[in-house]
Amino acid sequence: AQSVAQPEDQVNVAEGNPLTVKCTYSVSGNPYLFWYVQYPNRGLQFLLKYITGDNLVKGSYGFEAEFNKSQTSFHLKKPSALVSDSALYFCAVRTPPGRDDKIIFGKGTRLHILP
């Protein structure tokens, strides 16, 4: 069965430091992987996705993610954190194409950037 795990409920990072939000996945076939961000009182916003190609994917707001097939991971990274990056981050994986075609979300990781 397809699944995605975010092992950390919360991550605290000092402003200006690099940040990493972890995600591991389990899926049959080639994975489609996504990161979304949710700011308070807002819906989810798309950050980036990996479908094929370069393992390092660049997205919105200076975020990037590295696809690692051997470790089945898709960690979200940013070289220098901003206070405005504080939000709830969701990793997601697409199920294989078919009638039940959908994406499955992780439980989310709350990112706190400390001034």
Partner 1 sequence: EAQVTQNPRYLITVTGKKLTVTCSQNMNHEYMSWYRQDPGLGLRQIYYSMNVEVTDKGDVPEGYKVSRKEKRNFPLILESPSPNQTSLYFCASRGPDYGYTFGSGTRLTVV
Cβ proximity to partner 1: between 19 and 93 the closer is 93
Cβ proximity to partner 1: between 15 and 75 the closer is 75
Quote the least distance from Cβ 59 to partner 1, whole Å. Answer: 12
Quote the least distance from Cβ 62 to partner 1, whole Å. Answer: 19
Q: Could you please report the per-residue DSSP string of 32-92?
A: -EEEEEE-TTS-EEEEEEESSS-SEEE-GGG-EEEEETTTTEEEEEESS--GGG-EEEEEE
CA distance 41 to 43: 7
Which residues of this chain interact with partner 1, rule CB under 8 A?
9, 32, 34, 36, 41-46, 49, 51, 90, 94, 99-103, 105-108
